[in-house]
Amino acid sequence: MSLFNARSAWTIYKRELLRAFRTALQSILAPVLTTTLYFVVFGAAIGGQMQGGMGGVNYGAFIVPGLLLLTLLGESTSNASFGIYMPRFTGAIYELLSAPVGVAETLVGFVGAAATKSLILATIILVTASFFVDYSIAHPVYAFGYILLVSASFSLFGFILGIWADNFEKLSIVPMLILMPLTFLGGTFYSIQVLPEPWRSVAMANPVVYLVNGLRWTFYGRSDFPIVLSLGLTLLFLAICVALIAWIFKTGWRLRT
Amino acid sequence: MQPILEISGLTKTYSGGFTALKSVDLTINKGEIFALLGPNGAGKTTLIGAVCGLVRPSSGAIHAFGEDMASNWRHLRARIGLVPQELATDMFEPVRRAVGDSRGLFGLPPDAAKIEEILRALSLWDKRDAQIRTLSGGMKRRVLIAKALAHEPELLFLDEPTAGVDVELRRDMWRQIALLRERGTTVILTTHYIEEAEEMADRVGIINKGEILMVDEKAAMMERLGRTEALIALAQPLDEIPEVLSSFPLTLAEDGRVLCYRGDGGEGGGAGTTEVAQLTKALIAAGIDYTAIDIHESSLEDIFVNLLEGGAA
């Protein structure tokens, strides 16, 4: 038997996607509706009153990458964490653990499905945004690649969260109390250049700032930081998550007793 | 007999310090039905978990199909199936898809005919499109068995397969397990129903507090540890045991109205009842009349209880 079993990975991937579509109202429609409300309130209503926009871009268009990222981070994390936490909670994980399935198949299955769902959400959100604000994408290929990278990274992060959590509260604490505030304060609605000191320096300690700016660069070709810095930090985060998951599988932490 | 599973020196100590398995040695032969008996917390599920990859052993070795599980787990697990004790699966999935997914998870291509065969054999075909959550407890357990069989394992673990299942379904399941054996599948089952082991198992292992107390063929165990007891109601009470009956292990009860035969053990498998027959002939020859005989042979359950209590059966 080879070191990677594509059928096993495909089975996990398919099952996870079906699970997401089974709860489409909650997992797809709800985040799209929430983001749409942001576009209506901040983009169309408030943004329409802001003369000169922000960072040289119309304000409605300025917030598109940030809002997209807000949804991507939350949904990638939640979906991947629920994906692995639920079988742990119900005991159904016995089947995965007793199957000839290693870390590679598990990640491709669970994380791939979570990332795919995030990409579907991103597409729907971008299409929805086009009804409320005028925006353009300067580097569509980079934008796709960056969205994919962020989705995969935070799906990996969610997977770790789902293994770490031992109750439902812990599962929702990280997206609600850490990711969402960091994203709100990470330049989703403003350029950190408009912040006075010392808040600008404080904001630079927020890792989400670099994610938002990275995605904003792919849209408008300009950002508060060089794209290489954003890309490098995102790749570093991805590598740390992969290393952590490899360690989890090697030691069986919270998976095998 | 060719061994299919060899466990040696298997020890599992959990992080809290509890030792669930204490240097367990066990060999399972190809094609047999092996019943692992033990009270709650004896280590049965931990033992199964260690073989199937759910539990990380503290020390010891597990060889399946002649290969080390630790280093060759990937292709060895593909040949092993597990039916867990808990009804744990995605309850919102329809039956057929759940079973098909189990096959895919183990790396096998879809095979609609095989899935149909498994579902029909377990009387699940009529429920193939029903969500698992809508099924009864017994049917849910069948779904778990179907999922475990989907990748056609050569070695199948059944952890309490008939827990919570009614008598009719239980007997039906016994038939299914017997069919599996006929097809060459080796079955290891844990059970609380000793009747189940008595009915199905070729060999029986008794485990308690993480230690294997005894492993033997069921018939040999019953013969070796079985005991026969007989109560003979006498037509006339006796004051004492007559000299002609002194070679039999007898006592008097109920003011001499009942003659009690109690074997010393080791006369299971029919030896005890033969001696009781000789006793009745001796009674007639001695002119001692009797009105009723009640013979009781040790069941596996008696042997099991005696072993756990540390007494001789």
Residues 105-164 of B with CB under 8 A from A: 105-109, 147
**Helix or strand or coil: residue A25?**
helix
Q: Does B43 touch chain A (CB under 8 A)?
A: no
- Among A16-25, A53-62, B87-96, B127-136, the minimum mean pLDDT is found in A53-62
Calpha distance A116→A155 (Å, rounded): 10
Q: Return the structure tokens found at B66.
A: 């002649």
Cα of first residue to Cα of last residue in chain B, in angstroms, is: 28
Question: A221 falls in which pLDDT band (50, 70, 90)?
Answer: confident
B13 Ramachandran zone, left/alpha/beta (phi>0; psi -120 to 50): beta
pLDDT value of position B311: 47
pLDDT value of position B51: 94
Number of DSSP helices (H) and strands (E) in chain B, helices first: 10, 14
Distance from CA of B146 to the nearest CA of A (A): 13
**Helix or strand or coil: residue B278?**
helix
Is A110:A12 a contact under the CB 8 Å cutoff?
Answer: yes
Calpha distance A22→B32 (Å, rounded): 42
Is A109:A13 a contact under the CB 8 Å cutoff?
Answer: yes
With respect to residue A25, please indicate whether it lies within any of the assigned structural domains.
yes
What DSSP character marks residue B309? Answer: H
Sign (positive/negative) of CA torsion B133, B134, B135, B136? positive
pLDDT value of position B158: 92
Which residues of chain A are within 8 Å of residue B93 when distances are taken between CB atoms?
15
Best of B69, B105, B152 to disrupt the A interface by mutation (most A CBs within 10 Å)?
A: B105
pTM higher than the cut 0.95: no
Phi, psi for A54 (deg, rounded to 5): -145, 135
Is A128:A204 a contact under the CB 8 Å cutoff?
Answer: no
Number of domains in chain A: 1
Is A125:A67 a contact under the CB 8 Å cutoff?
Answer: yes
CA-based R_g, chain A, Å: 19
Is B274:B180 a contact under the CB 8 Å cutoff?
Answer: no
Calpha distance B114→A114 (Å, rounded): 31
CA distances from B202 to A171, B36, B179, B267, B272 (A): 47, 11, 14, 20, 22
pLDDT value of position B313: 38
Q: In what order do the strands lie in the sheet with B155-159?
A: B80-83, B155-159, B186-191, B33-37, B203-208, B211-217
CA-based R_g, chain B, Å: 24
Question: A236 falls in which pLDDT band (50, 70, 90)?
Answer: very high
Calpha distance B2→B299 (Å, rounded): 29
Look over chain A and give the mean of its residue pLDDT values, rounded to a whole number: 88
Sign (positive/negative) of CA torsion A194, A196, A201, A206? negative
Q: Which alpha helices (H) appear in B159-204, and where do they start and end?
A: 167-182, 194-200
pLDDT value of position B86: 85
Q: Which residue of B has its CA nearest to A18?
A: B93
Calpha distance A141→A149 (Å, rounded): 12
Domain B3-222: give its CATH code: 3.40.50.300
Q: Which residues does A contribute to its contact with B (CB < 8 Å)? A: 1, 3, 5, 7-8, 10-12, 14-15, 19, 22, 87, 90-92, 94-102, 252, 256-257
Determine the structural domain holding residue A209 and report its residue range: 6-251
Question: A10 falls in which pLDDT band (50, 70, 90)?
Answer: very high
| Interchain CB contacts (distance < 8 Å): A and B | 79
Domain B227-297, what architecture?
2-Layer Sandwich (3.30)
Q: Which residue of A has its CA nearest to B54?
A: A256
Question: A217 falls in which pLDDT band (50, 70, 90)?
Answer: very high
Q: Does B102 touch chain A (CB under 8 A)?
A: yes
The pLDDT profile of chain B, 313 residues, written as one tens digit per residue, is 789 999 999 999 998 889 999 999 999 999 999 999 888 888 999 999 999 999 999 999 999 999 999 889 998 999 999 999 888 888 999 999 999 999 999 999 999 999 999 999 888 999 999 999 999 888 898 899 999 999 999 999 999 887 777 777 788 888 888 888 888 899 999 987 777 887 888 998 989 889 998 888 877 777 777 778 889 999 999 888 888 888 888 889 888 899 998 876 655 556 677 888 888 999 998 889 999 999 887 777 777 777 777 644 3
With respect to residue A201, please indicate whether it lies within any of the assigned structural domains.
yes
ipTM, two decimals, is: 0.85
For residue B137, give the nearest of B169, B159, B115 by alpha carbon.
Answer: B169
Amino acid at A36: T
